[in-house]
Chains A and B, each alone.
Chain A
């Protein structure tokens, strides 16, 4: 008897691959799915669950389904991709230095003068307009 192609393994693997791809392409743009990547973790869970079902099927009914060798390999690969993603999202992004000496609430923000996008020198005090404007000061990593 010809054994059936164990589609759950491969479908699950495709879903696992889609998890980091959709995170970078879509979910990273929205704070709700970026700050904690629940949507991506759900996609991972779905993919790994499918692979697991395929794995169980291949072991229980080896006469009926293929994938006795492929399933554990794909499962290991899927878990490795999840581990790599989690390492980057939960550990690498948090490797920020302590902000020693950052101005604290109640302290005066140090004045500075820097060039704007047109090369004009602009100072914080001039932007505050001698006490007429409040300000939101955003420091960002830059696009290099």
Chain B
């Protein structure tokens, strides 16, 4: 399971944020919002100086890159809660890599948080 964060912030801001918060997962910089637009998440005139930023959104992807769950919040103070996402990862059996096609999914016990 990979966690990937994306915003319009430049790498320097992300480096500072990761250092301050101790985040170890990849923080990617979409400074011209090209990917944000491609994902239909552009929030025009919401950034500094009327720039475009991303509206908050979370996607759970399986190993083939297919969207299995998406959360497009109505309010930017309301985000997906970590415990709910972990539950979904269990329900959708996303923590288990499909190493053995044909084998029943979820047959391997995976410790939580892996």
Contact = CB atoms under 8 A, between A and B. Distances in A.
Interface of A: 28, 31, 34-35, 89, 93-94, 96-97, 99-112, 114-119, 122, 124-125, 127-129, 131-144
Given A135-B61, A138-B6, 19 more contacts: A102-B40, A105-B67, A106-B67, A107-B67, A109-B39, A115-B11, A115-B29, A128-B64, A131-B64, A132-B99, A133-B2, A134-B2, A134-B60, A139-B6, A139-B58, A140-B6, A142-B47, A142-B53, A142-B54
A94 B35 CA distance: 23
A115 B32 CA distance: 12
A94 B55 CA distance: 11
Rank and list the top 10 A-B pairs by shortest CB-CB distance, nearest first.
A142-B7, A101-B40, A102-B40, A114-B28, A134-B94, A117-B14, A137-B59, A135-B2, A117-B15, A142-B9
B70 A103 contact: yes
Interface residues on chain B, size class: 35 or more
